[in-house]
Structure 1
Amino acid sequence: MTARTLRVLAGAVLAALLPAGCGLPELADLPLPGGAPRGDGYAVTAEFSDVLDLVPQAAVKVDDVTVGSVEKISLAGWTARVTLRVDADVRLPANATAAVRQSSLLGEKYVTLAAPPTAPAGARLVDGDVIPLSRTARGAEVEEVLAALGLLLNGGGLAQLRTINQELGAALDGREPAVRDALSQLDTFIGGLDKQKADLVRALDALDRLSGRLARQKQTLGEAVDSLAPGITVLARQRAQLTEALTALGELGEVGTRVVNRSRDDTLADVRALQPILEQLVRAGDDLPKSLDFMLSFPFPPNVTGAIVGDFVNLSVTADLDSASILANLVAAAPAPARGAASPTAPRPPGRPSAGGSTTVPRPGDGTGPLPGLPLTECLPDPKDFPATWTPPKDCLLPEGCVLLKPGSTVPLGGLILPKGLVPPGTAFPAGTELPAGTVLSAPCVLPVTGAVTGQLGDLPDLLGGGLRP
């Protein structure tokens, strides 16, 4: 043994004895290199299903920047719990994600923290928070990639690619124009879809809303389908009867077709024969319903219902004894003077108003009222503003309860309707007074038929002066 060898052995023994005797740290107590945060940080626990060969003191990175280190790795059941020490200046959302990555193909493992890619960021991640399994992941190992590649090369479909290529070439051989045209049409079709992308998105959104509404009403739809079961069962039982009914209906249709075809000429002849009758009915117009109304009270007029009392009829006669008109008609004299105009030579009888005033004569029934034939403007409603029920003023001296009803109103008992709007004789209004067509007179407006005779006396000057006076 040489002196050099002895010196080496002595140095080794001295190096082994010095730590034990002088209190130097052992090799296991030496700290491992790593990116520990500077100063105080906060601890976060991440749960992984597999941490690969991640070791304590491994780096913790955010956007490829080291912000902390792995403080501890423990096992809780089948879940690995990794305690991370992160620099206090690093701000991360409470729903941050964690993943185990590899710095290079053969590099070390580290943990990367990041904000959620799709979900909105939550509150800030603080000391003691836990990142659950649903927000952690790990990268693929080189061994896994090589194993998958080996599976593809050995037992995959690469051997069939050549066959597929050959068959595809044989199928397209000589059909290049058709394939080119198909690709062109496909490009046009895809372009049209791209232009209608907004419409398609709206349609899909509407379909999504419809699907959601149907999903919310799933129970109601289920109950509706269940309630259809009895009806479908009844239809199934009566299928034979329904089939026979449809068959009979088909036969009836055939019979009806034959009848219509054979009677077509006769039907057309009957319609042509009815044409003159229908034309005459159209020309008759309102006369036909009026005549039917008159038939109900024949041989009396329709307003005679108020004159029938028990088993007898009250009748009255109104005689116009205007002497001037009578003489003019009998001896072809000059036309009768206008009513109300006094004769310049005839003396004015007592009670007769002076010329220029309103002329009145007794009205049958009460002995007062306006002269028949004169317009009663203040006693008639405005045709443009006809109320449902119009009551004449008391100054008109009309019978109490005499009102006018708007056209289209129901005719009261004993009332009178004016189809053409002209007032006939025998009412409280002068004959010939124009009212809106269809106006209804109440029963008090129709003069009562009592059978009494109203007489008037006078001498020849009174006759020649324009009428008899009381």
Structure 2
Amino acid sequence: MSERQRANHQCSAARLLRLLRILAGALAVALLPAGCGLPEIADLPLPGGKPAGTGYTVTAEFADVLDLVPRAAVKVDDVTVGSVEKISLSGWHAKVRLRIDRAVRLPANATAAVRQSSLLGEKYVAVAPPPTEPARGRLADGDLIPLSRTTRGAEVEEVLAALGLLLNGGGLAQLRTINAELGKALAGREPELRDTLAQLDTFLAGLDRQKADIVRAIDALDRLTGRLARQRQVVGDALDSLAPGLTVLAQQRAQLTKALTALGQLGTVGTQVIERSRDDTVASVKALQPILEQLARAGDDLPKSLDFMLSYPFPPNVTGAIVGDFVNLSVTADLDAASILANLLAAAPTASGSGIRPNARVTPRPSTAGGAPTSPGKPGGKPGGGILPDLPLTGCLPDLAKLPAVWTPPKECGLPEGCQLLKPGSAVPLGGLLLPKGVVPPGTAFAAGTELPAGTVLTADCVLPLTGAVTGQLGGLTDLLGGGLLQ
């Protein structure tokens, strides 16, 4: 016999016992003599103990009313306040109509439960205020207690069936096996288990401290999922629009692979080109260095000269002196003869255009290779040169075969202080001069045409400035272009 059949038999036996008790009571009443003066049936109280009288009707919905019968008692705090008038079936649940004394006040959210007066006693309906929420309103005639606020108690048959299932091999043996295996597994590992429990306690404590953060994260996740749910159509459209692009990428996968492979080969070729042209690139950059240094030295002279070109032959500040068809002009003439001669002799040109002063004496210059002295003119004895400067050239030039890194002329040479020759390949200082072909041009402290090793660098003090005098002030080309002539 199965457990379910055993439970059904027990339930049937209990019901049969209650039926026998009812029949015995009815038989005893029937056998009483008529002279005992039994009351009329209409005068008897209701079976639940509720005296007949006025009240209000309430309907309660139950998923299972067990063996509840009409005229069963309705109790509030174990006090009978009414009775069951009618039990009917509505769909898959039962509807019980209760009549409650009008003097009993119950909240509108009251609960109802089917209880049992004793182990084998009768069933009744217990009505009570809600246990988990505050009471509100008032239960009135015709109100409904819904299925969500009704329950039923456990039957004796159900308790005995569950107990029999547990005692009849329903898990005790398994509990013993589990306990024994647990003891074997943890034997000798008490410190590790204690450490594990301590770490678990620390972990749970950390979770408890971060409970607010976890709640905020869950709330944020809830808002995110809610937003995604509201934008489900947008997300779906976006995913649908990605499909054509993915299809095109899948179709052009071979071309993309070839393009990436060719890009790798291009990188290899580019690396080879850069490595092979590195020396030339470095040389080109070094060749640009003098130009950039001269541009840096020029500073703002170039933009000033461009400004002067717009008002040539007058300086830019002459616009304030132009009135109508005439120009206001003031000239201060310095007629000091000494100043005039000094200005004329400072940078007067020669017949050859070399920039050498006309009163310079011509002295023979020894050959750079140690040969016979050269005649006046160009280096090497070639006729037709300019006039050499008044310089004692003997010992004023280094050994060209062994030019040091930095060569300073002796003081007896009469060259400007700070004038030095730098070895070819040296960095050109600010204001210095690079001799690409090794020939000294006009305008330096050395004679024009002096031969030096190609690439020799002259410092800034070796370059002679161009000076002049206009309107009583001395200045160079930058002063002229700056528009400072008219005062």
* TM-score for both structures, normalised by structure 2: 0.51
The structural deviation recorded for 1:258 is 6.0
The whole-number CA distance in structure 2 between the counterparts of 1:233 and 1:286 is 61
Specify the alignment match of 1:227 in structure 2: 241
Alignment of 1:88-107 (within 5 A): 88-107=102-121
Change in Cα spacing, 1:60 to 1:174, as seen in structure 2 (3 Å) is same
The one of 147, 155, 162 equivalent to 1:133 is 147
Q: Does 1:210 align with 2:220?
A: no
Alignment of 1:335-354 (within 5 A): none
SS for the counterpart of 1:75 is strand
Unmatched 5+ residue regions in structure 1? 1-11, 306-313, 333-422, 426-430, 433-470
The one of 35, 60, 68 equivalent to 2:82 is 68
The structural deviation recorded for 1:191 is 0.8
SS for the counterpart of 2:244 is helix
Number of matched pairs: 310
Alignment of 1:67-466 (within 5 A): 67-116=81-130, 123-154=137-168, 156-253=170-267, 281=295, 284-291=298-305, 317-320=327-330, 329-330=334-335
- 1:36, 1:57 within 8 Å by CA — same for their partners in 2? no
1:183-205 superposed Cα distances (whole Å, 9 cap, x missing partner): 11111111111111111112222
Change in Cα spacing, 1:85 to 1:316, as seen in structure 2 (3 Å) is same
Specify the alignment match of 1:44 in structure 2: 58
Unmatched 5+ residue regions in structure 2? 1-28, 338-481
Amino acid at match of 1:25: E
Over the residues paired in the alignment, what is the CA RMSD in angstroms? 4.4
Change in Cα spacing, 1:319 to 1:25, as seen in structure 2 (3 Å) is closer
The structural deviation recorded for 1:181 is 1.2
Amino acid at match of 2:192: A
The structural deviation recorded for 1:260 is 6.0
SS for the counterpart of 1:178 is helix
1:18-77 superposed Cα distances (whole Å, 9 cap, x missing partner): 69xx99636x98434435379643210011121112233433344555443323323345
1:362-421 superposed Cα distances (whole Å, 9 cap, x missing partner): xxxxxxxxxxxxxxxxxxxxxxxxxxxxxxxxxxxxxxxxxxxxxxxxxxxxxxxxxxxx
Specify the alignment match of 2:40 in structure 1: 25
1:260-313 superposed Cα distances (whole Å, 9 cap, x missing partner): 6777787677667766765665565544445556678888878999xxxxxxxx
- 2:74, 2:81 within 8 Å by CA — same for their partners in 1? yes
The whole-number CA distance in structure 2 between the counterparts of 1:265 and 1:162 is 88
Change in Cα spacing, 1:235 to 1:125, as seen in structure 2 (3 Å) is farther
Change in Cα spacing, 1:297 to 1:210, as seen in structure 2 (3 Å) is same
Q: Percent identity?
A: 74
Amino acid at match of 2:40: P
* TM-score for both structures, normalised by structure 1: 0.53
- 1:44, 1:127 within 8 Å by CA — same for their partners in 2? yes
The whole-number CA distance in structure 2 between the counterparts of 1:192 and 1:300 is 86
Change in Cα spacing, 1:214 to 1:71, as seen in structure 2 (3 Å) is same
The whole-number CA distance in structure 1 between the counterparts of 2:109 and 2:30 is 57
The whole-number CA distance in structure 1 between the counterparts of 2:282 and 2:126 is 95
The whole-number CA distance in structure 1 between the counterparts of 2:118 and 2:303 is 108
The whole-number CA distance in structure 2 between the counterparts of 1:207 and 1:266 is 62
Segment drifting more, 292-301 vs 100-109? 292-301
Specify the alignment match of 1:34 in structure 2: 48
Change in Cα spacing, 1:266 to 1:167, as seen in structure 2 (3 Å) is farther
